[in-house]
Amino acid sequence: MNSRRDFLQKVSLGIGVTALSGLPASANNSPEPFVRPEKQLRVALMGLGSYATRVAEAMQSCKLATLAGVVSGTPSKINTWKQKYNIPDKNTYNYQTISEIKNNPDIDIVYVTTPNSLHHKHVLQIAAAGKHVLCEKPVADNAKQAREMIAACEKAGVKFFIGYRMHFEPHTRELIRMREAGELGKIMHVNNYMGFKSGDPNQWRLKKALAGGGAMMDVGIYALNGARYATGEEPIWVTAQESKTDPVKFKEVDETITFQLGFPSGVIANCGTTYNFNNFERLYVIGDKGFAELSPAFGYGPIKGRTHLGPMNQPVVTHQTLQMDGIADIILNNKPDPNVTGHEGLKDMIVVDAVYESIRKGGQKVFINKV
């Protein structure tokens, strides 16, 4: 499609402004009434917990993606969601009937929002059913599982994405644009951290069998993914240290981890993550011409940023609305993906494996093999 037709089509879909300015579809004050395009990405959510609830609400403002089905082991939840979102019976599944989704032409993609250690099994099931998959972070418990998930999706001929919502967020996009345009100069240093004080001591996040790991798996991955997009490079070595101040609560999983990533250019990213204190959320990249700082950098927002030029004036958006319309645009309209495929999940898991290996080896430097 030529660029003018492409532009006009985007505008007529109501997503042109979204894509060009980073505004969410819901913030597009176009005078023209929005006409819902005939072709929508029909999404089934799998695991109706707190994040799925947030995604479903955000999807009410989507223009290209629509909530069409649910997968849950709890019949009462299915009933509530059916009524709330007008989901027909034939688009509801439980964990025993999920393979039948392959016979449902009204579902295009399943969004896996179950606990971390179930992602591997659930993505393999969805791929086997011939549906595209969007899986929450962390992609899996380790790189081996992530490789198996990618292979299963490739074999089934389905697309595989990770819920890396920051890649659709306007401040983050602007930071990446500045770095790619050379406006920060040669990148010299990165300093990222992401963590929070976790509450309920009985939650699955503190159980290794369901969470795969602790803070590093859950939110350290933002600091790590952020170091990759702040530098535009892939780390070649890792060193890491763990501190545990509450060995009872964090008996099974990591509490606080600091880790360093070495990049081919010689840049080192100094990163941290925790489950045991708040106010730990920042992305800071320094080049020889300038800097960019996002703080908060990875939560639901509002994301705030400043650079050597002053405050970043990017729009405040609902991340999940933008992400779901973005994924729909990639699948339906062949738009380039902003680094949210299963391969990106794998690249992060290779580093997470190395972080845990370094900790097991008393902080030794672990070299990373290529993906």
Interface with ligand NAD includes 37 (CB under 6 A)?
no
**Is beta strand 92-93 parallel, antiparallel or unpaired with respect to 132-135?**
unpaired
For residue 237, give the 3-state DSSP assignment: strand
Interface with ligand NAD includes 96 (CB under 6 A)?
no
State which of positions 50-69 bind ligand NAD (CB under 6 A).
Answer: 50-52
Task: Please check whether residue 142 is in contact with residue 357, taking contact to mean a CB–CB distance below 8 angstroms.
Answer: no
Buried b (16+ CB within 10 A) or exposed e, 116-150: bbbbbebbbbbbbbebbbbbbbbbbbbbebbbebb
- CA distance linking residue 27 with residue 207, whole number of Å: 40
State which of positions 214-273 bind ligand NAD (CB under 6 A).
Answer: 218
Interface with ligand NAD includes 163 (CB under 6 A)?
yes
Instruction: Please name the amino acid found at residue 337.
Output: D
Interface with ligand NAD includes 2 (CB under 6 A)?
no
Closer CB to ligand NAD, 73 or 130, in the complex = 73
Closer CB to ligand NAD, 187 or 349, in the complex = 349
Candidate list 47, 212, 287, 305; residue touching ligand NAD; CB under 6 A: 47
Q: Which of 208, 207, 226, 224 is nearest to 216 (CA)?
A: 224
Closer CB to ligand NAD, 85 or 204, in the complex = 204
Interface with ligand NAD includes 48 (CB under 6 A)?
yes
Candidate list 17, 27, 210, 236; residue touching ligand NAD; CB under 6 A: 210
Taking CB atoms, the residue at the shortest distance from ligand NAD is 49
Closer CB to ligand NAD, 141 or 293, in the complex = 141
Task: Please check whether residue 207 is in contact with residue 320, taking contact to mean a CB–CB distance below 8 angstroms.
Answer: no
Q: Which of 190, 145, 215, 168 is nearest to 287 (CA)?
A: 190
Candidate list 14, 19, 62, 136; residue touching ligand NAD; CB under 6 A: 136
Closer CB to ligand NAD, 100 or 180, in the complex = 100
DSSP bridge pairs for 270: 191, 260
Which x/- pattern over 98-117 shows residues binding ligand NAD (rule: CB under 6 A)?
---------------xxxx-
- What crossing angle do the helices spanning 319-333 and 50-59 adopt, rounded to 10°? 70
Closer CB to ligand NAD, 222 or 291, in the complex = 222
Its sign, for the CA torsion 206, 208, 212, 215, is positive
How many residues contact ligand NAD, by CB under 6 A? 19
- CA distance linking residue 63 with residue 182, whole number of Å: 34
Closer CB to ligand NAD, 190 or 219, in the complex = 219
**Binding positions for ligand NAD, rule: CB under 6 A:** 47-52, 73, 113-116, 118, 136-137, 163, 165, 204, 210, 218
